[in-house]
Amino acid sequence: MVQPLASESLVNPAPVAPRDDTAEPAWLARPPQPISLEKPGCLDGLRFAVKDNIDVAGLPTTAACPAFAYLPTDHAVVVRRLLDAGASLLGKTNLDQFACGLNGTRSPYGAVPNAFNPAYVSGGSSSGSAYVVATGQVDFALGTDTAGSGRVPAGLNNIVGLKPSKGLISARGVVPAAQSVDCVSIFARSVAMAVKVLEAALGHDAQDPYSRALPLAARPLARNFRFGIPRPLSFFGDALAETAFAQAVARLEALGGTAVEIDYGPLAQAAAMLYDSALVAERYAAIRPFFDAHERDVMEPVRSIIAAGRGYSAADLYDAQTRLRALGQQAAALWEKMDLLLVPTAPTHYTIAQMQEDPVALNRNLGAYTNFVNLLDYAAISVPSSLRPDGLPFGITLVGPCGSDWQLAELGQRYHHATGLAQGATGEPLPEPQPIRGLHTGATVKVAVVGAHLSGMPLNSQLTERGATLVREARTAPDYRFFALPGTVPPKPGLLRVAPGQGAAIALEVWDMPVEHYGSFVAMIPAPLGIGTLELADGSSVQGFLCEAQALQGATDISDYGGWRAYIAALKAGAA
C-alpha cells in the first residue's frame, strides 16, 4: 500500500512514496494540494489539516503505524461537514501512535518538535495538528482527545485547544483510542476561529454510538464567577510554570472571578484510572484484531500500554466503572463551590531527549490535569496564558460541566485577549474578538429554586442546559412552610405560603434564564408543584416553586432545617 508522508507534521493529500532517509524532518509541510468542494460556506477560504487517525477518502489512515494503514473510501463525518462548510483540506498530520501519548515522540515517522524550541516536545498525541496551526501552515486543524491530546499540545505551543463535550462532534470515521471517552478536538490560533469550526462540525450522528443531541448552556457565566483551583497542585519542580499559573489566577480574578480551592483528590483518582485500571482494556478493544495479529508492529511504550488491557476480566471492568461513577459523585459536590475549574494545561515542559529517556513517567506528568476530563464528562478549552522567561509557552485550561462549551469559549476568549500574546508562533497579533453566537444576551426571567434544582442537585441540569445562570443565594420572607414530599424521585420539597408569623425563611437560589427557554422549563414541572410569585427576605419578588396545599397532607414539615441542603445533609447523617 502506498503510504502518505505521515513522517511530516503536515502530509500532502496526494498519495506519495514512503519517505526515505533523505526526506524532510518530521515537522515540515509539503506544498499543499487542497481538497475542497469549492462551495461557499461559513468556513469558505479557510485551510485545515487533520490528525492521521481521522479518515479522509483517498488518503491512507495510518494512526502512525504503517502495518495498520488502510485506504478509506469515505470521509469521516466531521471532515465531510467541514468540507461542506467550504474549508479546504491540505493534508494529514503526525501523532503519537494510536493516539496513545501526550508528548509527540511516539511515532515511527519521527518526533514533532515544539513550535517555539525544537529541542522540546510538542505535546501529543495530536502533535502535528498543533504544530501546523502554531506555525501558521493552516488556519485550524483537527485532533482527537481522550486523555488530553487536544489540550496538552495547545498549551505547549501557544494556541487554542477546544475539547468539546463528549458526543458533540461525531467520531464516526475516527480510529478509536478509547471509544467511550474519545472526542474530536479543534486547534486554532484564536478562540473565535475554534468556535467557528465547532459550529460547523457539531451535530448528532445516529450512526455513532456515542454521539448525542446535546443542549448547550446559552447564557454566559455570571460576571462574578467562581473558579476552582486544585489543591494540592504540583508543577514537578518547574518554578517558571508555577509562577505562570499564579499570574493566570490573578488575570482571571481581574476578569471578575473569585478563586476557590477545591480538593483535587477525586479528580486525580479518576485520572489515574484511565491507565491504571481495567478501563485501559478499551484501548486494547479498539484495535484488538490488528493488535493480536501484529503486536510486534506496535512501538513501545504504546505496545505495553495496549497489551495491558488483555489482562482484565469483564468483572474487573464493571468494578472499574463503578469506582469511576463513585468518584464522579464525589467530584459533583465540588461544583457546588465553583462555576468552572482552572488548571495548568501542562504543568511543565520536557525536552525530546528527556521524554525519550523516561517516556512513561514524564508522559504521565504532562497529563496530570487532563486525564479526568473526558472520564467525568466535562467540557474544556485550553487557551494561551503567557510566554515564560525561557521563551516557552504556558497555557491554562478552563473546565466546565458537560454542555458548558459556549460559556467556556466566551470566558476563554476574554482571557486570551487579555494576555496580549501573538497568534501561535507566527508573531501576528490576535484578531478582534467575536461574539459567541451560541450564547444569548437577550431578555431573561429570574426564577427561584428551593430543592432538586439547586446547584449540584439532581435536576440542576434542567436549568443549565437552558442557559440559566446562578445570580445569587437568598431566603424567602419568613412566611413559608417547607415540606418533604413523599414518594418523589428524585426527592423534592414543597413550599407553601402561610399567614404572617406562622412560617420561616427558607434558603433558595435565584437563577437567570433566557425567556425563550422558560416555557419549556415550566412545562417540565410535575404536579403538585408549580410556579408562582415568591416574596424574598429583602422585600423583592421573584418567580419560583410553590406547592398545592392539598398535596402536603401527610408530608413531613422540614421548615426548621431552613432549606433543602440542610435537610438532605441531615438525612445523610441519619439525623432527619
Q: What is the full DSSP assignment across 317-350?
A: HHHHHHHHHHHHHHHHHHTTT-SEEEEESSS---
Q: Give the domain extent around 240.
A: 47-419
Task: Please state the domain count of the chain.
Answer: 2
Residues 452 and 412 in one domain: no
CA distance 367 to 101: 9
The CATH number of whichever domain residue 489 belongs to comes to 3.10.490.10
In a domain, residue 537? The reply is: yes
Residues 131 and 182 in one domain: yes
Residues 356 and 266 in one domain: yes
Helices 77-84 and 191-201 sit at what angle, rounded to 10 degrees? 110
In a domain, residue 15? The reply is: no
User: Which residues, 6 or more positions from 225, have their beta carbon under 8 angstroms from its beta carbon?
Assistant: 256, 257, 258, 339, 340, 411
pLDDT of 315: 98
The values of phi and psi at residue 552, to 5°, are: -95, 0
In a domain, residue 425? The reply is: no
Q: What is the pLDDT of residues 425-476, one digit of tens each?
A: 999 999 999 989 888 767 889 999 999 999 888 998 888 778 787 888 999 9
pLDDT of 4: 31
Q: What is the pLDDT of residues 144-168, one digit of tens each?
A: 999 999 999 999 999 999 999 999 9
In a domain, residue 6? The reply is: no
Residues 380 and 461 in one domain: no
pLDDT of 214: 86
The CATH number of whichever domain residue 183 belongs to comes to 3.90.1300.10
Burial class for 28, CB neighbours closer than 10 Å (0-12, 13-18, 19+) = middle
Q: Could you give the 3-state DSSP secondary structure of residue 545?
A: strand
The values of phi and psi at residue 392, to 5°, are: -90, 145
pLDDT of 2: 26
**Of 56, 220, 25, nearest to 131 (Cα)?**
25
Angstrom distances, CA of residue 537 to CA of 253, 479, 483: 30, 9, 19
Residues 414 and 453 in one domain: no
pLDDT of 575: 67
The residue ranges of the chain whose pLDDT is under 50 are: 1-8, 11-34, 36-40
Residues 206 and 285 in one domain: yes
Residues 123 and 256 in one domain: yes
Residues 240 and 97 in one domain: yes
In a domain, residue 28? The reply is: no
Angstrom distances, CA of residue 75 to CA of 61, 81, 171: 11, 9, 11
pLDDT of 222: 86
Contact 228, 521 (CB under 8 A): no
In a domain, residue 276? The reply is: yes
Residues 268 and 411 in one domain: yes
Whether cis (ω within 30° of 0) applies to the bond prior to 301 is yes
Residues 176 and 242 in one domain: yes
In a domain, residue 1? The reply is: no
Cell 484484531 sits on residue: 289
**Of 321, 344, 457, nearest to 393 (Cα)?**
344
Residues 364 and 455 in one domain: no
In a domain, residue 287? The reply is: yes
Angstrom distances, CA of residue 38 to CA of 83, 86, 87, 233, 470: 8, 6, 8, 49, 45
Buried b (16+ CB within 10 A) or exposed e, 293-317: eeeeebbeebbebbebbeebeeeeb
Contact 218, 514 (CB under 8 A): yes
Residues labelled catalytic: 51, 125, 149
Contact 126, 187 (CB under 8 A): yes
Residues 247 and 347 in one domain: yes
